[in-house]
Amino acid sequence: MKLAHGRRVVQGAGILFGLFGVTGIGMTHILFPGLHCYACPWAITVCPVGLVQNLVIFGTVPFFWLGAMIVYGLVAARGFCGWFCPFGTLNDLLSFRKVRIRSAFSYGKFVVLLGTIIGAWALTDTVFCKLCPAASLEASLPYLFLGVARVNGPFLIHMATLGLSLVGMVLIARFWCRYLCPMGAILALFNPVSLLQLEWRSAECTGCETCVAACPMGIDPRREHDGHNCIKCGACTESCAPDCLALRYGPRRKQ
Amino acid sequence: MRRLLGVLSVALALAVCSASAWSQEGILTFSPEPAVLEISPGGRAAGHVAIENASPREADHIELTWTGSTEFALDPTPEGVAVLGAFAATSVEFTIAATRTATLGETRGSFEVIYTYCIGDLCYQIVESVPVALRVAAAAQTPPAVAAGAADAAAAEAPTHVSWRWIAFALAALLVVPAALLRREGRARVLLAAALLVAGGAALGLGVSLDQHKQAQAVGAVLCTSCVGIETVQTLSPRLSVAQAAAVDGLAKPVDLLVFYAPWCRSCPYAEGLVDLIASRNPLVRYRLVNAEVERGLAVEHGVTRAGRTVVPAILRVDTGEVLFGAENLGDRLVTLLEERT
């Protein structure tokens, strides 16, 4: 149970970091390692997905963006989804039905990422932001109460995407993270090389499959511990009685 | 196979990202003449920058400033170009003055050129650096033949200025592909992670040296109402209805407005145009445009922020401190704002 508690504390820190603007320090130069809207009134960090759309529109060679993504990828990759991302935490809190993942659909997040970039290029507009459920929750709703937003077409579209995502999350654990998140798609590319890693020691495995039942992403942690769908949350390590699954932090071991 | 498809789609995304940026380069081309400027310490040298617009749209407000060594300065400040039409060309005359202590020899400096480029109602403020070669020599000691040779060398160097960035970006981004595809444990992973660490660090450093962190902050600090879907983009020409026009004509007291905008905000031209329309109808309405990115302090001072975020477009009535955000239904809201008594 210790790991689960530790993860809740880190997730809390992620939310605090996301909303640190409540102290009045304003926007910083930091890119957020997760899906967190920079239009959120209390955000102090820039959303990488929002920023890359703007960079495509401006025609900037995105060195700073790429560097930040590589660094986050090496530090924890999708571990940020499991441990830090506030929208991931919302998914986590609504994880009631840990059904198996539909592997083919899980490539949907790469399609969303591709569509986000092509959309920004073709329409010179931040198309994804207008559909993003994190923006619905963190920008549309707060600005309605702050007197900037009104109940209009774009607002209702935001509410619809948020509503659908929430229904998805309730019916399928981590629905957004599994199938649709473009930020998860970026971080997933670094899963095989990140310092945060899920290790499986096959010799001790009894094949009981409790880890499969425990995984909120619905994967088989024994086979897919470095795959693009593992969020390195460690739920499987706690369920594994013979201790053949473990989270490890450090350089990859040479074999 | 599926894993490969996923990675390929991301690689394609990166390629599209790169291609889009390529396609937006070279709207205007700048060629300083002469290619090497001969100048003596304490002296002056004149030249011009030939500007060519290779695009089907006009560019506006082209301005030149000196960003090279402080041993040189533009004197006087060159006159900008208000409008450069589609496929048109022009030139800007300049005179560079060198300090008496300017170091002898060949050196490179640069102009910073700022201009505005609009596609429909979407306007970009584009900043480019134009390199220029200088040769500082005591007067009458410069053999012309050497200067011509240096000019050719400078001309050959100029085009590579842009392309190395894309090559560097592509190399760093390409490292991501094997990282995503790796399946086996082993030495390859360790080496790849180390290579990525170097590439990531270099990209971050380069990005910071190019001020891209400031660009990221600017994108995050100013909220445009049509950018995250608070309202739809207003792309129509601003117009006043008969009732609105009558209300504007009936205003009897002077009103001062500040119109906050950002260069990349798509609804801002509509808000600016509407206020300009009202001000030209009734001279009692006066206004000033405020770039919210540049004059952030002014926005904070006047409360054109919500929870610390500057929101554009925003129209502030100075005497009452009342603010209108966004462009939706702006005509009616603006008339109501103007009609309110102090």
CB pairs under 8 A between A and B: 259
Q: What is the mean pLDDT of residues A72-92?
A: 96
Given this model, what pLDDT does residue A228 score? 95
- Note the pLDDT of residue B199: 94
Q: CB A107 to CB B9 under 8 A? A: yes
Ranges in chain A annotated CATH 3.30.70.20: 195-248
Top-confidence range, B2-6, B91-95, B225-229, B282-286 = B282-286
User: Could you state, in order of their start, the residue ranges of all structural domains in chain B?
Assistant: 2-12+169-218, 23-167, 242-339
A104-108, A145-149, B322-326 — most confident range: A104-108
B30: distance to nearest CA of chain A, Å? 18
Q: Is B168 in Cβ contact with A64 (below 8 Å)? A: no
Closest Cβ opposite residue A29 in set B187, B213, B229:
B213
Sign of torsion, CA A227 A228 A234 A239? negative
Q: Which range, of A30-39, B24-33, B68-77, B78-87, averages the lowest pLDDT?
A: B24-33
**Residue A13, pLDDT above cutoff 90:** yes
Q: Are A152 and B2 in contact (CB < 8 Å)?
A: no
pLDDT digits 0-9 by tens, B151-193 = 444 444 444 455 688 888 988 889 898 888 887 777 888 889 9
Name the residue among A70, A126, A143 with its Cβ closest to that of B200. A70
Percent of chain A with pLDDT over 90: 75
Report which residue type is found at A17.
Answer: F
Q: Which residue has the tokens 């300083």?
A: B32
Over residues B51-74, the pLDDT tens digits come to 888 766 778 888 888 887 778 888
For residue A87, pLDDT over 80 is answered with: yes
pLDDT in tens, A165-175: 999 999 999 99
How confident is the model over A221-249, as pLDDT tens digits?
A: 999 988 999 999 999 999 998 889 999 99
Question: pLDDT tens digits for B254-301?
Answer: 999 999 998 778 888 899 999 999 999 999 999 999 988 888 888 888
pLDDT at B6: 59
Question: Hey, are the CB atoms on A190 and B308 less than 8 Å from each other?
Answer: no
Over residues B186-215, the mean pLDDT reads 91
When CB atoms are compared, the residue of A59, A68, A124 closest to B21 is A59
| Nearest CB to A149; choose among B19, B24, B230 | B230
Helix axes B160-174, B187-209, angle to 10 degrees: 150
pLDDT in tens, B6-55: 566 666 665 654 554 444 445 788 888 888 888 888 888 888 888 888 76
CB B312 within 8 A of CB B262: yes
- Searching chain A, which residue's CA lies closest to the CA of residue B117? A58
**Which pLDDT tens digit goes with each residue over A42-65?**
899 999 999 999 998 888 889 999
Residue B116 pLDDT greater than 90, yes or no: no
B317 pLDDT more than 90: yes
CA distance A255 to chain B (A): 5
Overall fold of domain B23-167: Immunoglobulin-like (2.60.40)
Q: Using CA coordinates, name the residue in chain A closest to B197.
A: A71
Residues of B in contact with A248 (CB under 8 A): none
Residue ranges with strand state E in B9-104: 28-33, 36-39, 44-53, 59-66, 72-74, 81-84, 89-98
Contact list, A142 vs chain B (CB under 8 Å): 307
Contact A152, B232 (CB under 8 A): yes
User: Across chain B, what does the average pLDDT equal?
Assistant: 80
Q: Which of B166, B173, B179 faces A192 most closely, judged by CB atoms?
A: B179
CATH of domain B242-339: 3.40.30.10
A181/A126 Cα distance (integer angstroms): 16
Cβ separation A190–B3 shorter than 8 A: no
> Which of chain A's residues have a Cβ under 8 Å away from the Cβ of B183?
192, 226
Asked if B190 lies within 8 A of A41 by C-beta distance, the reply is no
What ipTM was estimated for this complex?
0.90
Query: Which of A21, A59, A190 minimises the CB distance to B25?
Result: A59
Q: Yes or no: say if A228 and A203 are a contact pair by the CB < 8 Å rule.
A: no
The fold of A195-248 is Alpha-Beta Plaits (3.30.70)
CB contact under 8 A, A70 and B203: yes
Mean pLDDT of B135-149: 52
B28-33 β-sheet, strand order: B28-33, B44-53, B89-98, B72-74
Q: Which among A21, A111, A193 is the nearest to B182, CB-wise?
A: A193
Judged by CB atoms closer than 8 Å, whether chains meet at B196 and A155 is answered as: no
Q: Can you say whether residue A161 is alpha, beta or left, with left for phi > 0 and alpha for psi between -120 and 50 degrees?
A: alpha
List CB contacts (< 8 A) between A66 and chain B: 169, 172-173, 200, 203, 207
Closest chain B residue to A152, measured at CA = B231
Contacts of A47 (CB under 8 A, 6+ apart): A31, A32, A35, A36, A37, A38, B220
Average pLDDT (B246-260) is: 93
Q: How far is B260 from chain A (nearest CA, A)?
A: 14
Q: Do A148 and B264 touch (CB under 8 A)?
A: no
Domains B23-167 and B242-339 share a fold: no
* Token duo for residue A144: 């309605």
- Give B-chain residues touching A228 at CB under 8 angstroms: 3, 6, 180
CA distance B221 to B190: 38
Query: Which chain A residues are within 8 Å of B210, Cβ to Cβ?
Result: 63-64
Mean pLDDT lowest among A26-40, A124-138, B94-108, B266-280: B94-108
Whether B216 and A51 lie within 8 Å, measured CB to CB: yes
What is the percent of chain B where pLDDT is above 90? 23
HSE-CB at A186 with a 13 A cutoff on CA atoms is 28
